[in-house]
Amino acid sequence: MVRRVAVIGAGVGGLASIKCCLDEGLEPTCFERSEDIGGVWRYTDSVGERRVSVYRSVITNTSKEMSCFSDFPCPEDFPNYLPHSLLLEYFRMYAQHFHLLQHIHFKTTVLSVRKRPDFTTSGQWEVVTETSGVRESHIFDAVMVCTGHYQDPYLPLASFPGIDTRFKGQYLHSQEYKDMEAFKGKRVLVVGIGNTGGDLSVELSRVAAKVFLSTRSNTWVFSRVSDHGFPSDMVNTTRFNHFLEWLLPSALMKRIKFQKFNSWFNHANYGLASTKSSNFKVIVNEELPFCLLSGTVVLKPNVKEFTETSAVFEDGTTEENIDVVLFATGYTFSFPFLEESVLSLFNDNRSLYKHIFPPQLEKPTLAIIGLVQLTGSVMVGAEMQARWVTGIFAGWNKLPPTIRMMADVLKKNPSVKRKPFETENLKISFISYIDEIALCAGVRPSVLRLLLTDPRLALAIFFGPCTPYQYRLVGRGKWSGARNAILTQWQRTLKPLRTRVVDDCSDGWHWHLMCLLALPVALLLSKYTRLGWSPWAG
């Protein structure tokens, strides 16, 4: 029986894990190597000690309602997309409200996590830590690793001949970037067009003499602001849309998505993406199209090689007098503290059962939290993982036999090894994954049942945004405030915008539309439930 749990890391995954341990009556001890909570979201000017943090100007890509902890909504006066300072403040509020700080050992580095000699029967771990030069050994019944994706900068210099032998300018990874002041008046080449590459290109265009953005990927760009001014993820990430994606052929859904992307601007005209592309990524950036349109950012293909002062691209063009090359090429993750016998059981997150458990481990007492790539908030995913994992540790939930877990891993995950910058299009559907883990934990809501007992809530859940509160309606960890949080989520969305009120009688149109659509959708759901498909049945 698990009682004492080691939590490694006090970022968002670590905080959620501590809280879930406490909810299940477990005894968590969290080890954080820095002096504070927040993980990558705690901004610092320092780039030393292998610590990764956000850059000064970063703002979240997912809205507050879609990213918050499921039983602790963001304050209604917080903006919908949070700068890192406000997100960290929210983490502090969460930690203080649930009394998490007393369980965290700061400035403590985990040196090793090894199986005890009797692991096959006890499932216990020996954890060695170091604080101020003093080493200490601990025995734990289970370990939750919450160190996340962003650990080691991926700098593929071998793929860019001449960058470290001939090129006389400066090159660095985006991990070292903090603000734009050092790039004033320079000609900058940004390599990589993920969310970071797009953000930094736009920011640098305000002070640099010229910014070039090099990409090998087909990339679709969309805005955080929807057509009617609401946060895009709240409008698009709904169970209704998820149902349509299941119902309609994938080719048709892809065509619909491409048309929606191109309704903002024609991506082919900008050299970003073609509707014929099979492999592509999606990034969030409102300003990049204008920067391309105004010429302050120039899009280029992949770099072929570097000379002393220039970059030669695969299309044969050359850009001279490059001062700085900024690699936005992502990160790799590693677990240097885990013993080799454990590491050998999984080579990446796709080798883990449900992206959490090493399936061949003799006892399920090691969980990797937050190492999943989702189309929505990873913070919500990490919390749901922690709820399921601690339920297993406490004996409420059980894992299937090893052979079934291995079969599930092999079925869902291709064996092709990809580089960090190629994994964007391998992101898992947010609703699909959260629902899958919620079903395992016994906390997935039933829209059909709610339609009979609470029609208003059922409609809000099905047609409205799939916010985290939905997973606090039933099962262990049920929260009495979940229903109200769902029904007032649009009020919290609009609250920070109402700094100047104007008369408008258009409010509530979406509610009437939902009522009109309810009956045919309910009939459709009933039909497919009888056929054996019911993604929302509890």
Domain CATH for 319: 3.50.50.60
Assess if residue 473 is contained within a domain: no
Among 374, 401, 431, identify where a domain stops.
431
Assess if residue 238 is contained within a domain: yes
Assess if residue 512 is contained within a domain: no
Does one domain contain both 10 and 121? yes
Paired tokens of 156: 């593929």
Assess if residue 462 is contained within a domain: no
Does one domain contain both 97 and 181? no
Does one domain contain both 229 and 93? no
pLDDT for residue 395: 95
Alpha helices (H) in 128-183, listed in sequence order: none
Assess if residue 537 is contained within a domain: no
Does one domain contain both 122 and 173? no
Does one domain contain both 102 and 145? yes
pLDDT for residue 1: 74
Assess if residue 481 is contained within a domain: no
Does one domain contain both 192 and 322? yes
Alpha carbon distance 298, 311 (integer Å): 13
Q: What is the value of pTM for the model shown? A: 0.92
Residue of 6, 31, 33 lying closest to 21 (CA atoms): 6
pLDDT for residue 51: 77
Among 431, 452, 482, identify where a domain stops.
431
Domain that holds residue 24: 4-151+333-431
pLDDT for residue 412: 83
Paired tokens of 270: 């900008």
Does one domain contain both 215 and 67? no
Assess if residue 467 is contained within a domain: no
Burial label for 45, CB within 10 Å (0-12, 13-18, 19+), is exposed
Q: Which residue has the tokens 């300072």?
A: 85
Say what angle helices 509-530 and 239-247 make with each other, to 10 degrees.
40
Strands, E, within 347-438: which ranges?
366-368
- Three-state SS at 490: helix
Among 307, 329, 351, identify where a domain stops.
329
Q: Are 156 and 329 in contact (CB under 8 A)?
A: yes
pLDDT for residue 108: 98
Does one domain contain both 57 and 178? no
Termini Cα distance of the chain: 28
Per the structure, how many domains does the chain have?
2
Provide φ and ψ at 371, rounded to 5°: -105, 30
Cα separations (Å) of 101 from 18, 25, 31, 180? Answer: 9, 17, 11, 34
Does one domain contain both 172 and 303? yes
pLDDT for residue 442: 97
Alpha carbon distance 240, 510 (integer Å): 14
CA triple 262-267-271, angle to 5 deg: 170
pLDDT tens over the chain, length 538 residues: 789 999 999 999 999 999 999 999 999 999 999 999 999 999 998 766 567 889 999 999 999 999 999 999 999 999 999 999 999 999 999 999 999 999 999 999 999 999 999 999 999 999 999 999 999 999 999 999 999 888 889 999 999 999 999 999 999 999 999 999 999 999 999 999 999 999 999 999 999 999 999 999 999 999 999 988 999 999 999 999 999 999 999 999 999 999 999 999 999 999 999 998 878 899 999 999 999 999 999 999 999 999 999 999 999 999 999 999 999 999 988 899 999 999 988 876 678 999 999 999 999 999 999 999 999 999 999 999 999 999 999 999 999 999 999 999 998 875 555 555 444 445 899 999 999 999 999 999 999 999 999 999 999 999 999 999 999 999 999 999 999 999 999 999 999 999 998 887 655 555 555 555 555 655 555 555 555 555 544 4
Alpha carbon distance 64, 467 (integer Å): 10
Does one domain contain both 251 and 369? no
Helix (H) or strand (E) run with residue 311 in it? strand 311-313
pLDDT for residue 536: 47
Alpha carbon distance 459, 473 (integer Å): 14
Does one domain contain both 288 and 374? no
Does one domain contain both 421 and 370? yes
